Every structure is written in C-alpha cells, then in structure tokens.
Amino acid sequence: MSGAIVDLSKESVPEGITTEICIVGSGCGGATAAGLLAEAGHEVVVLEEGRDLVGAERNQRDSKMYDQLYMDRGGRATSDLSVSVLQGRVLGGGGVINACDVVPMPEPVLAHWAAKYGLEDFEPGHFGSFQKAALDDLSASRIPESLVNSANNKLRIGAEALGYHGEVMMHNRVGCQGLGTCLIGCPIHAKRNPRMVALPKAIAAGARVFTRARAVEIRQPGQELKELRVRTLDPLGYHEQEELMLRAKVVIVAANAIASAQLLLRSGIGNLQVGRNLMLQPQLPVIGFFKEEINAFQLVPQSYAVTEFEQEDNQDLGLWGYRIEGVMGTPGIVSTLLPFSGAEGMHEMTRYNRMAASLLLAPDQPSGHVEVGRGGRLIIEYAQRPDHQERLRQAVYNAARIYLAAGAAYVVVPTAPPLVIRTTADAEKAREITFAPATAPLLSAHQQGTVRMAPSERDGGADPDGKVYGTRDIYVFDSSGFPSSASSHTMTPIIAASRMLTTKLLTRI
C-alpha cells in the first residue's frame, strides 16, 4: 500500500479520520519515527504546518524562502527579541533549512545523561548503534575539499596560523553542486534529509502526510483513542481555514522543542515540567572583512570548524566547550545582522563579497521556558546565563584573532553599537560585550528541552521512553526530551534519539 502527501490548503480530507498513529511534525524526529513505524506495518498519519516546497520553487531568494520555509516567516524570536529562533516550517522540517552539519553527540555527554539524568538508554555503548544508524540515514561523509568555501578557508588559514585545531566538517549532502544557499533550501535536493530519506520510506509503506495542517489541540489524553483538533491553512500558510478532527491511538509529538511544548500546553497536557528547561544554544555571528574578494556566497557555506576550544568546560555540566564555525548567507539575511544604518550600512554591504563570517556555538544550560498566552499566542522566555555570555566573549576574542591572523582588514562583532576590531589588542574589546537584550543578533538553530525526559515525574515532563507523564500513549520524539544540551548540532542526535525511542515503542504496540 502506498501513502501520499496531501496538501490540505488545496484538497479536503474525509471527516473523522481515525488512524493508529498520528505524528505531529515531519522533521528529523517525526519523519524518522514515521519511516520506521510505517515500514513495520503500522498505520501512520503525519501532520505538517509547512508545505512540500521542492525543486525550483526553492528559488534561493531571501524574501520568499524565509517566509515559506521558516516558522513565523523567519520572524520567530524570544519575547524580548534577543534571540532569533530559527525553526523549519516545511515538509522535512529543520533538515530542509539547516547547514547539513553532521555532529554526533559526544560520548561524555551521553554518559552524563545516563549517569546524572538516569537515561540509561543513552549510555554510549547502547546509544552508539542508533547514532551509527542515524549517520547511515544521513549518508554522512566529510565535506570534500573542493566544496569548502572561501570564507571557511579564511577561518582555517587563521586557525592554522595560530596553531589551533580545526576540521573540515561532516555533512549529509550527496551530489552537491555548491549552489551555496543551504540555509534557504537546496533546489537540487542534495541534502539527504528527512524529506529525501525517511519520508519517502514512510509514504512507500503507506503513511499519509498532510501538509498545511496545524495541530492545535490534543483531547482525551488518558483515553485509548485521542482526538486531535487540526486546522488547515491557506496555501501560503498565513491564516487558518477549516477545522477537522482526527483520532489516533498513539500520538507522537515531534514538532521541535518550541512547538511540541506549545501543543501540549495548549492542550493542558502534562505536568508542570512541560514548557520548562528550554535551551536555545544561542549563536553569535562574527564577520571578518577582507581586502580581496572572497565570494563566499558559493560552495558549502558551513564547512570548517575550529574545534580547539571544544573541551574547555567541565563535563559534569554536560557541556562541550565552544566551536567557531564558518558560515555565509545570501545578502538579505547577512544584511539583517549588520548593525549599521544609513550610508554607513550601505557602505559595509558593498563589501558583501569580501566578508567571511562565522557563528560561535556554545552549548547552554536550561535557562528559559515556553508558555502559551491569550488566544494560544506563543511566548518564548529566555535569559542568557552569565557563564554562556562569558564563553561567547571568549569565542569572539578568539574568532577575531583568527580572522586577523588570516589577513582580515578588520572584524565586526554586530552588536549595537558595533564592535570593530582592527588589531589583536582590539580583540580585548570582546570583554565589553554586555549582551543586553536586543543588542546582539543571537541566533538559535538548536532548540532543546521543554519536555525533558526523566525517570521520575518530579524531574521531567516525559519518561525515558518519551511518553508524556499523565497520558496514555502520547510521546515526544524530538529534542524536547533532551535533559541537557546535546552539545552539538542537533540533527544527528534527534534522528538517533527518535530511532531509539521508536524502536522501543515498536516492542509495545
């Protein structure tokens, strides 16, 4: 039996659909679960708010792609606008819009989860096989030298000049032509992401995938048959249209750490832990300006990482230092990060093809929460911790020195006011960054926590199987369940965790 993708903005579905398993979210967690469950012979329906935007529709233009591929049209942010929350809203979820970074969870972090949080299934010897399977799903490989872009090479040149360790990153591209717009979708589908791997398997095995379908409430969480209120959206996904009811025995919520918690909270499901323990892992960009043209808009935008500082933290915290990773974007998104106005801003952007940017990735500890306000309005509260701020300052200091060592004329830290670093001595100015709300363009691509897994209901929102406490067969299979930061990029950890949790679920249904 073959399933299908049904766009509910254009097609209607029969009233009163009943299915065995309903999965909310089609990203790394949801698609992985859908593939395994459907292939095991279970009846699966997947709900996705976004639509199936494919091929040349991914037109590499900032205005349209942030509007159509990202949650809240690219505008999602914490309530104080301090952190932009980048979350996919397209069939395939975050895997469609990420930078394809394949970074498995470090073993000490897994050991920490097992020892401190009682999540024995994450013990490295056990979880390792699921990480291996995730790497296979992703066709993980080292990025070929021919695809490392010039901005990343500048980072490498500077790091090597200072004697710092670094590496060309692992990725999940096959047949990449170096088009350079990974963050707004690959028009040639070179990413081996959930849209290209797990979802086709699920559909071939009979799964039905409804796009432009927003799950707004789960009812009867303690009953055998749960009811999901689903609202269809218009073709552009701006406004809700009709409401339909779907019934399922098992509900798997995998809509990302923000939206999964939002759905549970709107439904009044779960204990007081639901929505808490949010980690955003905010990243700060730093930009080196070079005299020569770099043309970093082509080839792989994120391909080299300085790993020298990865192991500085106390591993008891479950953290894993910080990374300095090369990155580049299309002109529109890059310009939003620059804190200049008027002629000054125009002038800086004339150097777009001479910029080499990096993102500073420092794992954080739980320091925020998700809540639902009037009318179901999402509120993301996050207060960056002083220790995280301090690690970002150190990262800025080192990133600036690296770019200067690579020959940058100057380095800009895009805070307000901007920090311009022209000499190594200037790099000390990094200590002055205050991180006052809405003064630094912090970006979050790795939201975690909010329905933390724990053996005791007192400590978490879900049990070690991912089952939401106080419910019958309602699960979270995404980064919501992570008890502390996965301390890396989250695509591989989410796929591996979903694989493991789904495998356990299959033994019970």
Partner 1 sequence: MTVPEGEENAREGLFSFLSRRRFLKASLVVGGALLGVAGGSLFILRGRAPNVDGLQALDAHEYQTLKSLVEIMFPRTDAIPIDVESMDLPRAFDEFLTGEPKHNVQDLKKALVLIEFGPLVFDRQVSTFSRLDPEARLAHWKSWAISDNLLRRQVSVAMRKFFNLVFFDHEAVWPFIGYPGPSLLRSRSVKQ
146: contact with partner 1 by CB under 8 A: no
Residue closer to partner 1 by CB (options 188, 420) is: 188
225: contact with partner 1 by CB under 8 A: no
346: contact with partner 1 by CB under 8 A: yes
Contact assessment for residue 353 and residue 295, using Cβ atoms and an 8 Å cutoff: yes
CB of 143 to partner 1, least distance (A): 17
**Footprint of partner 1 on 149-178 (CB under 8 A):** 177-178
Enclosing H/E stretch for 247:
strand 240-253
Residue 305: which residues within 8 A CB-CB, separation 6 or more?
A: 166, 167, 169, 323, 324, 325, 326
CB of 475 to partner 1, least distance (A): 29
Contact assessment for residue 469 and residue 460, using Cβ atoms and an 8 Å cutoff: yes
User: Does the CA dihedral 160-162-165-169 come out positive or negative?
Assistant: negative
Rounded to whole angstroms, the Cα distance separating 334 from 62 reads 10
The binder of partner 1 chosen from 339, 366, 461, 483 (CB under 8 A): 339
3-class state of residue 291 by DSSP: coil
331: contact with partner 1 by CB under 8 A: yes
CB of 71 to partner 1, least distance (A): 13
338: contact with partner 1 by CB under 8 A: yes
| Total number of residues that touch partner 1 (CB under 8 A) | 57
**Footprint of partner 1 on 58-77 (CB under 8 A):** 59-63, 66-67, 73-75
Rounded to whole angstroms, the Cα distance separating 462 from 371 reads 17
200: contact with partner 1 by CB under 8 A: no
CB of 162 to partner 1, least distance (A): 28
The alpha-helical segments, DSSP class H, found in 299-385 are 331-337, 342-349
Determine the interface stretch with partner 1 among 1-9, 17-25, 329-337, 405-413 (rule: CB under 8 A): 329-337
Residue closer to partner 1 by CB (options 67, 459) is: 67
Contact assessment for residue 23 and residue 33, using Cβ atoms and an 8 Å cutoff: yes
The binder of partner 1 chosen from 146, 272, 377, 507 (CB under 8 A): 377
* Amino acid identity at 165: H
Phi, psi torsion values for 220, nearest 5 degrees: 55, 55
**Footprint of partner 1 on 241-300 (CB under 8 A):** 293, 295, 297-298
Rounded to whole angstroms, the Cα distance separating 96 from 192 reads 9
Cross-strand pairs, 168: 304
Residue closer to partner 1 by CB (options 315, 335) is: 335
235: contact with partner 1 by CB under 8 A: no
The binder of partner 1 chosen from 141, 271, 336, 503 (CB under 8 A): 336
CB of 289 to partner 1, least distance (A): 12
The binder of partner 1 chosen from 2, 314, 350, 507 (CB under 8 A): 350
The binder of partner 1 chosen from 1, 239, 507, 508 (CB under 8 A): 239
User: 501: which DSSP letter?
Assistant: H
Contact assessment for residue 334 and residue 62, using Cβ atoms and an 8 Å cutoff: no
**Token pair belonging to 485:** 């930061």
Residue closer to partner 1 by CB (options 63, 223) is: 63
508: contact with partner 1 by CB under 8 A: no
Tokens 């979802």, residue located = 199
| x-or-dash string of contact with partner 1, 447-486, rule CB under 8 A | ----------------------------------------
| x-or-dash string of contact with partner 1, 6-45, rule CB under 8 A | ----------------------------------------
Q: Which of 337, 347, 305, 344 is nearest to 322 (CA)?
A: 305
333: contact with partner 1 by CB under 8 A: yes
Residue closer to partner 1 by CB (options 172, 487) is: 172
Would you give the distance in Å from CA 125 to the centre of its chain? 26
**Token pair belonging to 364:** 């954080």
Rounded to whole angstroms, the Cα distance separating 137 from 28 reads 11
Tokens 């689903």, residue located = 230
188: contact with partner 1 by CB under 8 A: yes
* Amino acid identity at 392: L
Query: How many C-beta neighbours within 10 Å does residue 345 have?
Result: 12
* Amino acid identity at 263: L
Rounded to whole angstroms, the Cα distance separating 342 from 340 reads 7
417: contact with partner 1 by CB under 8 A: yes
Cross-strand pairs, 368: 278, 382
CB of 416 to partner 1, least distance (A): 4
CB of 380 to partner 1, least distance (A): 14
Determine the interface stretch with partner 1 among 149-157, 186-194, 404-412, 479-487 (rule: CB under 8 A): 186-194
Phi, psi torsion values for 73, nearest 5 degrees: 60, 30
CB of 338 to partner 1, least distance (A): 8
Q: Which of 184, 168, 37 is nearest to 101 (CA)?
A: 168
Contact positions toward partner 1, by CB under 8 A? Answer: 55-56, 59-63, 66-67, 73-75, 80-81, 177-181, 187-189, 236, 238-239, 293, 295, 297-298, 330-336, 338-339, 341-343, 345-347, 349-354, 375, 377, 416-417, 437-439
